[in-house]
Structure 1
Amino acid sequence: MKSDNSIHIVTQALRDLIASSAPGAQLPSVRDLIEKFRVSPATVQNAFARLAGEGLIDPRPGQGTFVRQRPITGAASDLSWQAVALGAGRHAGGSMQDLLALPPPGSIPLSMGYLPQDLQATELLSAALKQIARNPALWDRLPFEGMDLLRAWFAREIGHGNVFSPHEAIICPGGQAAIASTLRALLAPGSTLLVEAPTYIGVISAARAAGITLVPVPGDADGVRPDLLEAALHETGARVFYCQPTFANPSGALLSELRRKQVLKVVADARAFLIEDDWARDLHLGSPPPPPLAAQDPNGHVIYIRSLAKSAAPGLRIAAIMARGAALARLRAARGGEDFFVSGPLQAAALNIVTSPGWKRHLSTARNALAERRDALVTALRAEIGSDIGINVPQGGMHLWMQLPDHVSDTALASDLARQGVLVSPGRAWFPADPPGSYLRLTFAVAPSILREGARIIGTAIRQRGDRQTE
């Protein structure tokens, strides 16, 4: 991939510089390297991470990055044999790595996927950790399915008659792990997974790493189109569909009430599974969303995933998968062979905060702030670019999905913005196949003043792209 090649180029240039520098010499800053190589901040951060892993550099937060030691002299290592041994790569992780890279200090991070620190449940977590520190038994072995009380909480949260019992929930270390485990449990390498278009970049990455073929199913502002889903199930023979019916990432779409019934019927008629990733249920910015699809599924077609990292804090790597029947047995087998069980103190901390009186207050505060910040970004973008700009204003989550003018490349624009310290996510990374247009995903979770400055720079960059087109 282009991203991987850029990382290699920057890494190799830095290796050459290190080889000719004395220990303790300061290397160029992230901003200087961005300007020199015309790459994103994430690419530079990945290059630094590789060199730090090799023991060649000494990153000092707030000071810079310094040469740690000279590379070992003498005959160079020959690592070329690894290319033959490893074979063709299945990971298409460049875009995922860009999103996971920590933003450089002073940047405007409009590409992140978590609440910023000022909206995280850090006080609740700190109090919870102090309390559970007095219980040494939590460091002992736990059932690989998770703590009973935490499993019961996840099952109750679906409501509507308690569709799942606690023993049908499995605790996982975060939503991404839950998605990857579910794909491995339900799909063999070479099989087909249907996904919405666009869809969550994490499921694209996990599916490709597992050797699974992705087939997109288009949707619109009301979510995935049931007629196209039915056609895709029939034409491909696929038996698994990954869906985010509630505030989809990146589009923000909310599957309409009518389509929820239609999608469930299409999946049931095809005797297929639907993986419901309910990542943003806690982050509705108006009226509460409709019940999960799982609440309307009596026959075990829906595999349900719910995570806490988005609504609490990125470090609370706690999620649950819920399923029934043979699918649950498959998931138990997959999870039991992967990481045995999730840390007891982390599970206890999660249970503590979601059952505390402060949890609802935290969610209310976060929702109010997100709604204000969403409106601030939409207003600023329309003022900078025009009221007819294609923005899907979501009723939940933390992302705007913005369609760019036809003449503006999303990846070129993202590179322009990165050189000015504004980090955005190009839309094409969120499509498993060719995108139908040019898009940006913009996070509106950061402070309004930052959002307004980001919108100003984005508007200027789009106008400059248009000026170049007409020259």
Structure 2
Amino acid sequence: MHIEIQRNADISLTKQIYHSILDHIRSDLLEEEFQLPSVRELSKQLGVSLVTVVKAYQKLEQEGFITSVQGKGTFIRKTKSEENARKEETSSYDWQLSVQDYLPRSQFARFHQVPEKIHLSSSMIDPGLLPNRYLEQEIHSMLSENPKVLSQYGEIQGDKMLREAMVEYLNSIDVPTSPDNILVTSGSQQGIDLIARTFVGPGDVVVMEAPTYPGAIDVFRGRGAVILTVPVDSDGMRVDLLYNLCDKYKPKIIYTVPTFHNPTGALMPTKRRRQILEIAKSTQCLVIEDDPWSEIYFERKPPASMKSLDQYGHVIYLKGLSKTLAPGCRIGILAASGSIFKRLLAAKANTDLGSPLLTQKAITPFINSKRMMNHLKKLRTALKIRRDLVLEILSQHSPEEVSWFIPKGGLNVWLTLPSWINTDHLLIEAKKEQITFLPGSACYPSEQENHHLRLSFSYMNELHLKQGVTIICSILQSAVDLSKKQDSSPLF
């Protein structure tokens, strides 16, 4: 187990050790009954005091994540509900635990593909709402006309025809760029990883929203970055706090999801986007503008992208096509300029020598067609209906102590519960009902808040949505009632 200590961070060493071990546990990187290093061993390994490690272990034990056995040591403890239902016999692989890894966290993968019947944890779109039949026909047609595409490598930068098509498409959503400044990636996640591999090393400061997209946290934590967070309000990242943070530290990167923020759904106005760019200019840092679903708006088009306001090459823009078009193709777009782009292109070459050509060719004719525009229009209508259904059920059945943000676009609803309720515990109860959601703890890089959860309304049909959200409301009500009962119990 590798623990990265940042001695120049504002977070105490005790909290860093606590969060690092907790991230390993929640990411299933440590198995149940795995023996942790002794207090003395870990303090020597990290170069910290015994008291620092003792306090971290005590907090983990108080919260039920580890257990100490007198004379034997300290061990990972998990509930049966958190174990993989298909856990294989591992006795013959016990030796593997001695192989050191450098993965500090990989939480998001746990919620991406799940066995539960009602899947509300991952922001994916119902396959029935995507143009599967058209893409199937396009692939058949392309292969019949050009069967050699299967025996050809594509350009490292991405197929030129796709890049040209994407320029036209991006211009239509206020993202100016050129084919020479576009890099085709295997989804937005690879785009984040390429940026981190290229520009982030141990000790570099990365500023993120709190909460934020868990997959980005996993990547930056894996690079050993010092992650500093800025809270989110209804207009996105709070710029007043960002100013103060950047006055004290010099960030390498500011990562933001300004349009229908993941997970809260907040929409950043143009004024705040300009302010973040001014901060980036004054501190000479990069801004990652992650744009997974700006096309999915329910009222009016969102403001122009930060990329469109950028005059000096600070913004690296990421657009994924998996959400709105073809998850199976795993295609994303990265747009940058200057030497920043050239270095990212080199990183792409080192990573995989280019994304698959077949899938790039398959979607190219669709990108700027009338069929694409009709698809997006229908998709907005269908997802608005599902959003409204979830909001209606929450209004009717959730406890009055629960609040939520009404998203004007995107795929999620963010719920806030009373601070004494831990949604990690509620997830265990939901799984018993074959339901899953994303607990808020996965969305915080450092100081975790455990009383939030994200419901994705895009993947399940209306029947399953109604069933799942109603049951979750019942679980929430039970948690609130139990807390009230305990508070009202006589002390003697």
TM-score (norm 2): 0.79
Deviations 1:195-218 (A, max 9, x none): 111110010011122222211111
Which residue does 1:210 correspond to in 2? Answer: 223
Distance apart, 1:433 and its partner CA: 1.3
> Is the aligned partner of 1:159 residue 2:171?
yes
1:262 to 275, 282, 290: 275
Query: What is the correspondence of 1:314-393 to structure 2 with a 5 Å cutoff?
Result: 314-386=327-399, 389-393=402-406
2:465 to 439, 447, 451: 451
8 Å Cα contact 2:186-2:330 kept in structure 1: yes
Q: Separation in 2 of the partners of 1:374 and 1:77?
A: 45
> Is the aligned partner of 1:442 residue 2:458?
no
Distance change (3 Å), C-alpha of 1:342 and 1:4: closer
Which residue does 1:312 correspond to in 2? Answer: 325
For structure 2, the residue ranges without an aligned partner over 5 or more in a row are: 1-23, 35-77, 487-492
Distance apart, 1:7 and its partner CA: 7.9
> Is the aligned partner of 1:150 residue 2:159?
no
1:136 to 147, 166, 173: 147
Distance apart, 1:368 and its partner CA: 0.5
Distance change (3 Å), C-alpha of 1:130 and 1:98: same
Which runs of structure 1 show a deviation greater than 4 angstroms over 4 or more consecutive aligned residues?
Answer: 4-7
Deviations 1:53-86 (A, max 9, x none): x8xxxxxxxxxxxxxxxx9xxxx56615x63x52
> Is the aligned partner of 1:114 residue 2:127?
no
Query: What is the correspondence of 1:52-451 to structure 2 with a 5 Å cutoff?
Result: 79=95, 83=98, 85-86=99-100, 89-93=102-106, 95-104=107-116, 107-134=117-144, 135-139=146-150, 140-159=152-171, 163-386=176-399, 389-436=402-449, 438-445=451-458, 446-451=460-465
Deviations 1:358-396 (A, max 9, x none): 211211111101001001001101110156631111111
Distance apart, 1:246 and its partner CA: 0.4
2:84 to 19, 44, 55: 44
Which residue does 1:18 correspond to in 2? Answer: none
Q: Separation in 2 of the partners of 1:435 and 1:77?
A: 33
CA RMSD of aligned residues (A): 2.4
Distance apart, 1:185 and its partner CA: 1.4
Which residue does 1:66 correspond to in 2? Answer: none
8 Å Cα contact 1:159-1:295 kept in structure 2: no
SS in 1 for 2:229: strand
SS in 1 for 2:430: helix
Distance change (3 Å), C-alpha of 1:394 and 1:335: same
Distance change (3 Å), C-alpha of 1:317 and 1:254: same
Distance apart, 1:5 and its partner CA: 5.7
Distance change (3 Å), C-alpha of 1:132 and 1:404: same
Amino acid at match of 1:123: R
Distance change (3 Å), C-alpha of 1:212 and 1:7: closer
Distance change (3 Å), C-alpha of 1:5 and 1:255: closer
Distance change (3 Å), C-alpha of 1:233 and 1:215: same
Q: Separation in 1 of the partners of 2:232 and 2:264?
A: 10
1:3 to 13, 26, 50: 26
Q: Separation in 2 of the partners of 1:454 and 1:7?
A: 30
Which residue does 2:14 correspond to in 1? Answer: none
Q: Separation in 2 of the partners of 1:257 and 1:241?
A: 17
Distance change (3 Å), C-alpha of 1:345 and 1:227: same
TM-score (norm 1): 0.83
Distance change (3 Å), C-alpha of 1:295 and 1:172: same
User: Which segment is superposed worse, 420-429 or 257-266?
Assistant: 257-266
Deviations 1:199-239 (A, max 9, x none): 10010011122222211111201011112112222222112
Distance change (3 Å), C-alpha of 1:167 and 1:303: same
Distance change (3 Å), C-alpha of 1:392 and 1:414: same
For structure 1, the residue ranges without an aligned partner over 5 or more in a row are: 12-35, 55-70
Amino acid at match of 1:110: L
Deviations 1:256-311 (A, max 9, x none): 12211211112112121100011112212221111111011111010011110010
8 Å Cα contact 1:38-1:419 kept in structure 2: no
Distance change (3 Å), C-alpha of 1:386 and 1:180: same
Q: Separation in 2 of the partners of 1:142 and 1:5?
A: 36
Q: Separation in 2 of the partners of 1:170 and 1:404?
A: 41
Amino acid at match of 2:369: S
SS in 2 for 1:131: helix
Q: Separation in 2 of the partners of 1:430 and 1:4?
A: 13
Q: Separation in 2 of the partners of 1:433 and 1:162?
A: 32
Deviations 1:151-171 (A, max 9, x none): 122233332887321111110
SS in 1 for 2:352: coil
8 Å Cα contact 2:239-2:276 kept in structure 1: yes
2:481 to 464, 467, 471: 467
Q: Separation in 2 of the partners of 1:313 and 1:257?
A: 30
